[in-house]
Amino acid sequence: MDVKGLLRTEQAEGFLAPESVSMLTMKMLKLGLLLLFLSTLSGAESLLPPGAQTKVLENGLKVVVVPTDTKDLVALQIVMAVGSRNEVEEGKSGFAHFFEHLMFRGTKRYPPEQAEEMLKAAGVSSNAWTWDDQTVYHKVFLKEDLEAILDYEADRFMNLEYQEPEFRTEALAVLGEYNKNSANPTEKMYEVLQDTAFDVHTYEHTTMGFLEDIEQYPEGYDYSWTFFDRFYRPEYATLLMVGDLEPENAFQVVEQYFGAWQPGSYKAELPVEPEQTEPRKAHIDWESSTLPWVMVGYKAPPYSALDDTAAMQVWESLAFSQTGSLYQELVLEEQIVDEFQPFFFLKKDVFLVGLAVRLTDPSKLDEVEDRVIRAFESTKELEITSQRLEDVKSRIRYSFLQGLDSPASIASNLAFMLSLEPSLESIDDFYAAISRVTTDQLSEVAGSYFRPQGRTVVTLKSKES
């Protein structure tokens, strides 16, 4: 599954709650967890669930255990630090996402049908997603099934097995997924935006990859095993468990099943993107009828540049909220825009921040493009009171905490952050940086990044119009 967007607070998909756990009980458990974690807003330094512990096994596997009082429930996320960012070889774009599909093909001990029956009998929710910097496999299950689930996971991460016919079937499935996504104007615009904004870095292609590479996947069976051997190693992995667990016991069980996983030695040499020196622009002639779109993006700081990244997060929330002046004018007052989609992606390397809008009037395309650009580059026009700044910073913290209302959602939120920096402390560091953001810092960051030479614009319009 290809994922696009910021840190999500959605819960894991499709959890099949056992009949012994009533809906009322589930709601009460969520409410209790939410109240517990929201209490940290009142002044505690850490936003993390209390009692979380980390251990690194001898083979390099990082294990994080977060105990909660949600009786009998456990959420598991296996975070692999491999995504489309690691695809440095020509002709192999999108392979991390493709390989996510192959990871469900089973092993000798757990063929696909047997694995499906085992998971179904246990009422397990199981899925995965891939993005630029990570691939994440997630499950929710009952505590009594912990060893069975870890046995299954360890087996497929060490002993995956599939033949060339199954490989070719999955290759065609990925091509179908690409074609489906490309039928969406905004998906195609993101693809063109990245391709236009980047010259050498692997962020030049989306998680799906270039179409010409996807079309060659059926011939890549031998390379797929090279990919598995390189990246599906314990030093690339963080195993996160949240729920009714005692950390020391959980560490022992993980060691029992994953201790034999052998580390590797491969590390992708990522190309360094040169600084953009002039504005760039691309246009898409859309074959079918659609309203026109404008997407404006600027190079944005990497996650590791915490102060700049935190300031950018706050700036985007201030400038493009529904109470902001641009939204009020374009959407509510003049009604010349009916889709207003700001984006700021937390990434390991320099990526993009921007805004995509859909117009109701094709004749306003140039005007709206200019107004969006002015909203970025005329930084002094953004009026920020100290009270509004504090409100936005509190809202960002609250939004993170609000996503910690069940083992599944806690695991989902922490997994994303750990995929950027595999340290629980780094999560507190990020939100501490947000709490320190000042109005002067916002102006400095906007002035540094929102310059014409760092801008990339993509427009989309129906051929017929």
For residues 141-152, b (16+ Cβ closer than 10 Å) or e, as one string? bbeebbeebbbb
Query: Facing residues of 66 across strands?
Result: 242
Residue ranges of the alpha helices (H) in 109-246? Answer: 112-121, 146-159, 164-182, 185-197, 211-214, 221-231
**250/285 same-domain check:** no
Q: Does 109 fall in a domain?
A: yes
**Res 13 pLDDT > 90:** no
CATH code, domain carrying 76: 3.30.830.10
Q: Does 269 fall in a domain?
A: no
**199/335 same-domain check:** no
End-of-domain residue from the set 192, 226, 258: 258
CA separation, residue 171 to residues 1, 99, 137, 221, 355 (Å): 14, 10, 20, 10, 33
pTM above 0.85, yes or no: yes
For residues 194-210, b (16+ Cβ closer than 10 Å) or e, as one string? bbbbbeebbbbbbbbbb
**309/249 same-domain check:** no
Nearest CA-CA partner of 4 in 441, 343, 260: 343
pLDDT category at 381 given cuts 50, 70, 90 is low
Number of domains within the chain: 2
**245/380 same-domain check:** no
Chain Cα centroid distance, residue 12:
13
**188/145 same-domain check:** yes
What's the pLDDT score for residue 50? 87
What would the mean pLDDT of 268-272 be, rounded to a whole number?
Answer: 92
Q: Does 11 fall in a domain?
A: no
**243/384 same-domain check:** no
**Res 161 pLDDT > 60:** yes
What's the pLDDT score for residue 9? 30
Each residue's pLDDT tens digit, 203-237 = 999 999 999 999 999 999 999 999 999 999 999 99
**106/213 same-domain check:** yes
Q: Half-sphere exposure of 164 toward its Cβ, with a 13 Å CA cutoff?
A: 6
For residue 89, what are the domain limits? 23-38+46-258
What would the mean pLDDT of 452-456 be, rounded to a whole number?
Answer: 97
**149/245 same-domain check:** yes
**28/116 same-domain check:** yes
Q: Does 3 fall in a domain?
A: no
**Res 23 pLDDT > 60:** no
**27/149 same-domain check:** yes
Q: Does 420 fall in a domain?
A: yes
C-alpha distance across the termini of the chain, in Å: 34
What's the pLDDT score for residue 46? 84
